[in-house]
Each structure stands twice: as C-alpha cells, then as structure tokens.
Structure 1
Amino acid sequence: IFFSDEDYAGISPNQDDPMVIGVEIANWEVQKTLIDQGSSANVLYWPTFLKLDVPRSLIRLHTEPLVGFAGERVHTRGYVDLLTTFGTPPDARRIMVRYLLVEANTSYNIIIRRPTLNHLGAVVSTPHLTMKFPGKDEKIISVRANQKIARQCYVESLRIFASSKEGKKSPPTTCP
C-alpha cells in the first residue's frame, strides 16, 4: 500500500483536517465517522444508534466506563456488534465491528478505533486524507475523507466545547 501525488486530488493544500468518512451500518449511510488512530474503543453515539433502527435487543451489557485521554470517565449504555461497510461497493469491505454506545454531546456520529483499522489492514494518510486497505483479489481499496464535513465537525466541536465551559447544554448534533 502506498500513497502518491494522485491521492492529493481534491484536497485543500496545507490542510490539517481529521480523517472523517462515511460508513454503512444496517443499510444506513452514516457520515461524520472519525477515524481515530489513537482511540482504543469504537464509539457509536446513542442518538445515531437510535436512528439506525437497530433492535435494542442486540445491546449487550458493558459495565466498565470508557476512560478518555485526560482520565475522564464516560458511562456507556452497553455495546453492540454491527456489520459495517468501509468503502463503496464493489470497492468495499464489510466487517463486524463492536461499538460502545455512548450518550455524549459531540460533532461526530461514530469513532473508529485502531484495532478495527488493524483488522481491515488499513493504512491512513492524514496529509492525503485517504485510508487504504486490501480488498478482494489483492485489490487496494481507497476511502477518502470528506474535507467539508471534517471542517464542519471541527467548528461544531468548538461550539460544543465553548457551551460546556459556560455550563450550557448544546443540543446533540449527531445524525446519520
């Protein structure tokens, strides 16, 4: 797997944007999916889960809190295993992903973690805003970030952070 100048096509120069893609879960396309190579947990935010029409009976008990980078603890509503499609068919891979269900005010719908990326065999290039991984017949699948949505999520996260510092509650912004 390699990246070339062709992978810069359509990307604003001198960008420092996060890798934000769309995935398919339960026949729904879910945008605002953050690829976080530093995260150890896949997170599916509760408002997004509710919109997916996935039976609640699939939720399993998870009693351990999710611990953030700064040591903050977030309680989960359990976990759910869902088939998730990365890429656009026929250039796609579908794998089972375990998501912790978290209720939090965030600008993202999903966070995909490092072990899931390893399971895909994915290599992420943030300068190219592209993720590549092996598909069928040794074909390499490329998934490009949506730079416009990535920037919208960043601006929204700043608004949410500012509201939380003021003690205000912002309405959740997640949606598939």
Structure 2
Amino acid sequence: MQLGDVPLEAVDTSLYGFAGKVVHPRGMISLPLTLGTASLRKTCLLKFLVVDILLAYNVILGQPTLNAFRAIISTYHMKIKFPIIGGVGETQAEAFQARKCYIEAIKKRKEKKDGRISENRGL
C-alpha cells in the first residue's frame, strides 16, 4: 500500500510470531474497508496496524475485522459471508491468486534465510 506521508496514530505494542519474529508497528491508521460487490457489499471503518516488513500480503484481516462485519468465513470455499440490509453479502477469493500469494510468501522466507533481500517491500 502506498500511504505516503499519512500521519499514523502512535501505538505501544508489538506483534509476536508475525512473519517469524517480533514486529514493532510504525503506527495505526483508520481506513474504510469494503467487502463484496455491487449491491451485496458492506463498508466498515477499521483500524490497521502499519508494519514495514517483507510479506506477500498487503493486509491481514483478523478477528476484529471479522467481528466488525459480523462475518462468517469458509476456508474450504475461500469465501466470506456477512449480513447486509435485506440480505447476505459475500466475497470470494480466487484459488490462483491465493496460491500465488502462498508461493510468494514461501519464496520470501527462503530469501530471508539465504540472506538475500527482495526489492519488493510490503507494509
């Protein structure tokens, strides 16, 4: 994510076991997150911890996000469903993209072990 010089809210916490080490966030930011498409979507304002580490992912959604959306997940179907006014919204991952992220994460972990530094830097 390219946030530029957006001011971050100070945080006094660390993430343990994240990316295989202790990570100290640069700060926290509130951003709107929209799940779903067309009339079956929902937007919530969420707080995200910003970290400066090499990962294949731009964002990791955890329990607070799922709770904010009142979401139910199915890892088998790679789908998230959540209540919206008048129905149920959903979003579904693509197996190809999920596999690509997984392979990229494994590759970055190997590069780190070998002492190589990747040019891609994630937040």
CA distance in 2, matches of 1:71, 1:152: 20
Q: Deviations over 1:1-38 (max 9, x none)?
A: xxxxxxxxxxxxxxxxxxxxxxxxxxxxxxxxxxxxxx
Match of 1:161 in 2: 109
* Secondary structure in 1 matching 2:91: strand
In the alignment, residue 79 of structure 1 is paired with which amino acid? M
Match of 1:148 in 2: 96
Superposed, 1:51-66 pairs within 5 Å as 56-57=6-7, 59-66=8-15
Q: Deviations over 1:113-142 (max 9, x none)?
A: 1121022111111111111110112x0112
* Secondary structure in 2 matching 1:112: coil
Q: Deviations over 1:60-113 (max 9, x none)?
A: 111212222698310111000111111113210000110000011011111011
**Conserved? CA contact 1:105–1:171, under 8 Å:** no
**Conserved? CA contact 2:55–2:121, under 8 Å:** yes
Match of 1:102 in 2: 51
User: How many residue pairs align between the two structures?
Assistant: 123
In the alignment, residue 107 of structure 2 is paired with which amino acid? R
Inter-CA distance 95–75: structure 2 relative to 1 (3 Å threshold): same
Deviation at 1:49, TM superposition (A): 3.9
In the alignment, residue 63 of structure 2 is paired with which amino acid? R
Identity %: 32
- Give structure 1 stretches of 5+ with no counterpart: 1-47
Match of 1:130 in 2: 79
Superposed, 1:72-111 pairs within 5 Å as 72-111=21-60
